[in-house]
Amino acid sequence: MAYNLLKGKKGIIFGALNEQSIAWKIAERAVEEGAEIVLTNTEVSIRLGTIGELAAKCNAPVIAADATNIEDLETLVDKSMEYFGGQFDFVLHSIGMSPNVRKGRGYQELNYDFLDKTLDISAISFHKLLQVLYSKNAVKEWGSIVALTYMAAQRTFVGYGDMADAKALLESVARSFGAIYGRDHKVRINTVSQSPTETTAGKGVAGMGGMLDFAHSMSPLGNALAEDCADYVVTLFSDLTRKVTMQNLYHDGGFSSMGLSEEVYHWFLDGKANAENK
C-alpha cells in the first residue's frame, strides 16, 4: 500500500546489485511512494548485476560511480543535479564489501591491504559521499541521508571479521557529519541497523544460514526482511521524521534488546540433553 510519503521528492540510491539487494527494495518502495530516483553502482556491478531491470521499472537513469572515488562521486552528484533540475531530497548508502571476509580470513589473520579496502568501500566511502554532497550543497534543507549498517558494530558476531570495524566507523561518520550537516543545512543523517538478510553481500559472511536462524529465533518479531527495511527507510526519507538525526536505528525485530529467547534456551537445553545421552 502506498501513502504518497515521498511525493515530489528526489534522491540517489546506491547499492542495488540484483533483486535480493536491500537497495533494490528501497528503490522500488521509494518510487511507489512518489519519488523520482537516480540509481548508481560500480561499472562492474552494473555489468554483472541486473540493475537495468530496476531502472526500467523505476524509470530511473543509472549513473556509474565507484563510491571510493571522489571524482566519480562529484560527477554523479553533478549529473544527478542536472537530471533533477537542482538540489535533491534523499540519499541511500547501501554499500559493503570486505575482501578479508570474502577470502575467509579470520579477524586474527587480517591482510592489511584488504582491511584498507574494507574500510574504504564500506565506511570511508560514506564520508567521501557526504563531503561531496555538502561541498556542492546538493541536498535540500530537511533532506535525509541513510546508510545501512549491522549490529556487529556494537557486539561481536562470528564470521563478520573486519566488517565490524567498518560498520563502527560508518556509524561514527553518521554522527560526526550529522552534527555539521544538520547545523549548516538542516540535513539529517542516520544509519539503519538491519537484521541479517539473504543478499549477495549477506551470503559472503561465513555461517550466514545459522546467523539468520539464530537472529530469527532470538527476535520477538522475527528477522526484518529487505522489504520491511524498505518500508522503514521510506519513513526516514519522508517529512514525518524531520527531527531524527545522528541516530543508529535498529531495524531487527527486537533482536538488539534480547538476551535469551525461550526458543534459543530450549534449543540449548535439547542440544545439551542429546549430547549427554550419546
Ligand X SMILES: NC(=O)c1ccc[n+]([C@@H]2O[C@H](COP(=O)([O-])OP(=O)(O)OC[C@H]3O[C@@H](n4cnc5c(N)ncnc54)[C@H](O)[C@@H]3O)[C@@H](O)[C@H]2O)c1
Interface residue list for ligand X (CB under 6 A): 14-15, 17, 20-23, 41-42, 45, 66-68, 94-97, 121, 148-150, 194, 196-197, 199-202
- Could you give the dihedral angle defined by the CA atoms of residues 271, 275, 276 and 277, in that order, rounded to the nearest 10 degrees? 100
* CB of residue 246 to ligand X, shortest distance in Å: 18
Beta bridge partners of 136: none
Amino acid at 86: G
User: How far is the CA of 232 from the CAs of 146, 200, 205, in angstroms?
Assistant: 11, 21, 24
In the complex with ligand X, which residue's Cβ is closer, 15 or 185? 15
Closer by beta carbon to ligand X, 94 or else 185: 94
Helix (H) / strand (E) containing 199: none
- Distance of closest approach, residue 56 Cβ to ligand X, in angstroms: 17
Least distance to ligand X, CB of residue 196, Å: 4
Cβ distance to ligand X smaller for residue 21 or 144: 21
The nearest distance, CB 6 to ligand X, in angstroms, is 20
Question: Of 42 and 245, which has the nearer Cβ to ligand X?
Answer: 42
Of 234, 145, 248, nearest to 192 by C-alpha is: 248
Least spacing, CB of residue 57 vs ligand X, in Å: 16
> With respect to ligand X, which residue has the nearer C-beta, 96 or 161?
96
The per-type count for the chain, helices as H runs and strands as E runs, is: 12, 7
Q: Kindly tell me which of 104 and 209 has the beta carbon lying closer to ligand X.
A: 209
* CB of residue 72 to ligand X, shortest distance in Å: 8
Cα torsion 137, 140, 142, 143: sign: negative
Nearest distance in Å: CB 135, ligand X: 19
Pairing, β 248-251 against β 139-149? unpaired
Our CA angle for 85, 90, 91, nearest 5°, is 105
Cell output for 93: 548508502
Q: Using alpha carbons, list the distances in angstroms from residue 22 to 30, 90, 93, 109.
A: 12, 16, 11, 30
Nearer to ligand X, 153 or 187 (CB): 153
